[in-house]
Chain A
Amino acid sequence: MKRNLLMNRLEHLPTLRIQPRQTLTIRYNGKNLRGYAGDTVASLLYGCGERIFSRSLKYRRPRGLYSLDGECSNAMMSVDGWPNTNAETTPARHGMVVTPQNVVGSLEWDPMGWMDHLAFVMPAGFYYKLFHKPARLWPLAIKGIRQAAGLGKLQPEATFDCRCDAIYPNTDVCVVGGGPAGMSAALAAAENGLRVVLLEARPHLGGFCDYRVRAEKGGMPLYQWVGALADEVRATENIRVLTHAPVVGVYPDQRITAFQRGSAADVFDLRYIEIAATSVVVATGCIERPLLFASNDRPGIMQIGCAHRLLHTYGIRPAANAVFSVAHDLGLEAAIDMHDQGVTVHCVADAREDGQDPQMLSALAQRGIPHWRGWVAQVAHGRRQLRGVTLSNLTGTFKKRIGCELLVASAGLTPLTGLVTLAGGALAFDHHTGFFLPQRLPPAVQVCGRIRGLHDPSSLSADGTLAGLRAAADCGLNLNREIARAEAAGAAAPGAVRGSKLAMAPGKGGKAFLCFDEDGTVKHVQQAMAQGFDVPELIKRFTSIGTGPGQGGMPGHNLPLVVAHSQASPDSDPQPTTIRPPLVATPIAAYAGGKHDMAKRTPMHAEQLTAGGRMERVGEWYRARRFGADPGAQDEIIGVRTNVGLLDASTLGKFRIFGPDAVKALQRVYVGDMTRTVPFRTKYAAMCNEDGCVIDDGVVIQTGENDYYITTSTGRAGQTVEWFRYHTRYDSWDYHMVNLTDAFGVINIAGPNARQVLAAVTDADISNEAFAFSTCRDLLLRGDVPVRAMRLGFVGELSYELHVPASYMAAVWQMVETAGQSLGIVHFGLEAQSTLRMEKGHVILGSESEQRTTLHDIGLGFLWCRTKPEAKTVGGAALRHTADQPGRLKLVGFKMEDPRSRAPRDGSPIVDARIRGYVCTARFSHALQEPVGMALVDDDLVRPNTRLGIYEDGCNGTLRHAMVVPMPFYDPKGLRMRM
């Protein structure tokens, strides 16, 4: 190996994109390897002499650098613990730790390499067939397959220090592709005063001209020409350039998603980009179509652009000597440049018989590089790495074997049309270019450049300008004259280039890979076709060709071509397979973005934390589950039952509804009769959906003429206004709603001593006579703070619910705490509240109900007023139809047969021979000194003393037993809350 020679970069090339003065070191497989700022992980490894990058998925064949744009899984590695990171698109950073994956031994010698020789037992579709029968084989097979299959290893315990964020730019024109055509389009649109976003997948603008030194007609080298274009783009204020930002998808109304990789200088490592544009210009250009021949995957075989960019962009001579097998002038150009930089080019096999650029041919001749028309690589030699290649003419009658380190192989170009398809455009095969060309573009989508088969720089810029103007016209500008002029300029420039339609090299035998990701070969396609699959779409699925990380990129063109070639009627046009987003492999972290978990905090969040509150998320809110270590919250429960406790109930939904038709709206959504409200008396009311299933409960208080204050459950607050408006959408009623959920904090003072506490903070008469159960009063606390107080009985004790303006809440909380201090007031949380209300048989919707539970099922049928059909109550008809419907789950109370046993776990099924219901909530009752609970059970199990079998996780079939008992368990007459 002449590795020492290769360590040295060509430092003085004008096209370099690395900084030869800034070195960096990465750790690779236990070695420290040196590279330069601007290197990708792949270019750094290649520059340090690494040739085998990975082992393939199925056959464990060695794989090397093939493209440089992450088009296949060859260069997938684990980078700083991130599996399946494509080394080709990952910038090298100092200190990175890179390890190869899918390897048991070493890359050079993998004990799983024998898989390659077993290929004959793994024909296309073998997974579907081999393990299908007998079924008992499957459990054995699955173990081995799972171990061998897949790429990369997840490390569930690993955490990643990744700076992720997101941007949501709005723009008039979004140009995808920063090559000459895309940049021309961006400039044309920007000149007309429009906002333009230009997205480029590579870290720099310039596209396929960025690394080319060939002079064009003006005499300026191409890299200088696109460099000047890029400077102009960057200097244009209304063009926003986002580089290293591959597009993931395009969606209706010109919405585009992409993600961007940040450098150390950026504030992000990964940035999710979602663009809303008025018009999209697709200038994604072309990638190369892999040449299909035996062992076309050997390390040492690479595409034209890969070799050319290694040389000119990264200053790496890819090898000491090379053979070219190409079908495009770009290949001839690369061979010339390679020769000029000291690589021995043995010969250039050109699959085209004619059509070459005469200038190129004379340049090859000048350098003494043989150019063989109508020749192509047939077999690659060498086991782990390329040692040579056998070339043949297109009919396979003449052959010649040449030793070489590098084979630059390419069957031609193929346009990147994924965005066009996703946007709703169609593709049709074009016989002149050999491309699938965009046809019938959807509105406000323009295409330009190489994607249309153009190649000449003057054509690309003219075409880009035209597309930019058309995009500007999509945004509403009248540019008919300018467009006509640009059309004329485009027509005068050279047209689409004739392309190679070569499908396969001649000869049989060996593995010619269509898809490196999935180890899919030409033979697999033929096997699939022999079994009757006739369209590429189905063959893709049967062979899994094009379903790997690279998606349809590399095989997307070759598969239809090979299928069409192998078909009985070879005249039929190739049909492309369907493209779906994501167009590029996208890290999940990019989708997660930055801060995304937005939660609400009550005005007493901090105070509760200070008091020892254990907060948890309940819907959008943080709430205190309990105070202190006891998961059963025993002290809190006993405190409320025997003394007084304090609960933050601020998350309740709260609304004002007013206006002449307010009562009609209430009648529509509440099942009760809302015409019979008494001012400042709390009315417990429920809402059902159309099926009569209960969705919400709360109180309704009339506070004035056509003026009401209502509360809803925490979870429904966000949808309440929407629900009212939806169910009155045809009625044009005059009523208004204000969401006051966050405007008021709610303190619940509950317990036999609650009145003493409240009396200490207000001068108002709050005796049982002046302020009775089920009423509401507007009070002043300490003569200053206005609160709305209600006497409700959710936890079954004397209690006051104070609705306090949120900004006063902290002060009032403190006031009440201080007032209750001498009594030993306790804080209580959701756990205590849930046990307390359960002892009273009060339901919490969602705990004691599920989606199918009607008002009747949970014993709240009395809330429904059946004599107001004119209100067209939501759920009214269903409640009528289901009032006595058999076969429903009904809510019952139960006690355990053994009162000394613990309460069963919430959600445990109730069973006999089959499932008969489930436990909703069950807790140890301190009031009764035994476990009690509520369950939804089949309607034949509702009678008291019915025995229920409870199945708990891990009970091994040993049921626990409970008896149905009447509810409520505690204070059945409700005297305590009326004290």
Chain B
Amino acid sequence: METAPIERSSPVSFAMAPEQLVLRGDWPVVLRYPHEGAGPWLVDLSHGGKWDFQSAALDRLAPRGVVLPERPGACACAQGILCSRLNPTQAVAWHIAGPVPSPPDTCDVTDVTDAVALLGLVGPKLLPTLEKLTALDFVKPARAAPFILQGPVAHVPSRVVCFATPTAAASALIISCARGYARDMVDALLEAGKEFGLRPAGELAWTAWIDTIDYKKEAA
């Protein structure tokens, strides 16, 4: 049998060769693209592990390394895993920074790593960009960041996590949508953000920002 390495591939690809690339497990991860500019940036985070938790007793579930927020719409971040409460019986966790964790250990979890594309947006002018694609209101009612909104972005059912005061000069968002829509979603985002200078960037642009918030704190 052949022994060529087996690589996983992201549904997202930008029309340019990466400047810096690493292999993380089976995933090739782009760290940097040429000509990334001064932001805002669009970063592919689809290689991160993703898990779906569902249980009638979700609050009694204590998956290792994941903090489950109590209220639907709220998010919690610990050890590089962002967990968002979608409704009383469901939450999703995304690995968005730091070392690759081992998968959560409960039978109520489903690995959905390949089910969705994760797109990070970092930098200024994120709301004017999103406003061209969605009617979601990130400002009102006021919510404690990070928070998650579920609704159509570019007509595609999506989930959007907002990390900082959305009106802040620089902010970060994650958009998740069905994997199959990744390419058209990327096109739609780049097209909408063109007037604000939105450009594709490697993972470093994302981690540089995420390092400024306290995502590494221990799980409670």
Contact = CB atoms under 8 A, between A and B. Distances in A.
Contact of B140 (A165, A170, A602, A809): A170
A743 B116 CA distance: 7
Interface string A806-823: 111111000100100000
B54 A170 contact: no
A343 B11 CA distance: 69
Contact of B112 (A274, A621, A740, A818): A740
Contacts of A172: 140
A603 B135 contact: no
B6 A785 contact: yes
Contacts of B11: 601, 603, 806
Contacts of A741: 115, 178, 180
B187 A807 contact: no
Interface in B1-50: 1-2, 6-11, 26-27, 46-47
Nearest to A271: B132
A809 B10 CA distance: 10
A600 B7 CA distance: 22
Contact of B137 (A276, A601, A602, A738): A276
B8 A736 contact: no
B192 interface: yes
Nearest to B50: A743
Given A168-B134, A738-B110, A601 B180 contact: yes
B137 A742 contact: no
A808 B183 CA distance: 17
Nearest to A762: B1
Given A740-B115, A743-B114, A598 B155 contact: yes
B179 A806 contact: yes
A914 B131 CA distance: 56
Interface in B91-148: 108, 110-116, 131-135, 137, 139-140
A736 B54 contact: yes
A195 interface: yes
A5 interface: no
By size class, the interface of chain B is: 35 or more
A786 to B, nearest CB: 10
A529 B64 CA distance: 82
Nearest to A597: B184
Given A170-B137, A740-B115, A811 B89 contact: no
Given A168-B134, A808-B6, A811-B8, A595 B154 contact: yes
Interface string A730-742: 0000101011111
A594 B110 contact: no
A140 interface: no
B188 A169 contact: no
B114 A806 contact: yes
Contact of A166 (B7, B108, B132, B182): B132
Interface residues of A, number: 49
B92 to A, nearest CB: 10
B217 to A, nearest CB: 29
Contacts of A742: 114-116, 178-180
B30 to A, nearest CB: 15
A807 B48 CA distance: 12
A602 B108 CA distance: 27
Contact of A621 (B6, B90, B180): B180
B59 interface: no
A656 interface: yes
Contacts of A600: 178, 180-181, 184
B162 interface: no
A542 to B, nearest CB: 41
A354 interface: no
B106 to A, nearest CB: 12
B56 interface: yes
A600 B115 CA distance: 13
A587 B133 CA distance: 20
Contacts of A598: 154-156, 181, 184-185, 188
Contacts of B187: 595
A172 B188 CA distance: 27
Nearest to B155: A598
A602 B115 contact: no
Given A267-B195, A595-B187, A807-B8, A734 B179 contact: no
The 5 closest A-B pairs by CB, nearest first: A600-B180, A743-B115, A736-B54, A807-B8, A170-B137
6 contacts: A170-B140, A598-B154, A601-B11, A736-B55, A742-B115, A743-B112
Given A742-B178, A805-B8, 7 more contacts: A169-B131, A598-B188, A599-B184, A658-B108, A742-B179, A807-B47, A807-B113
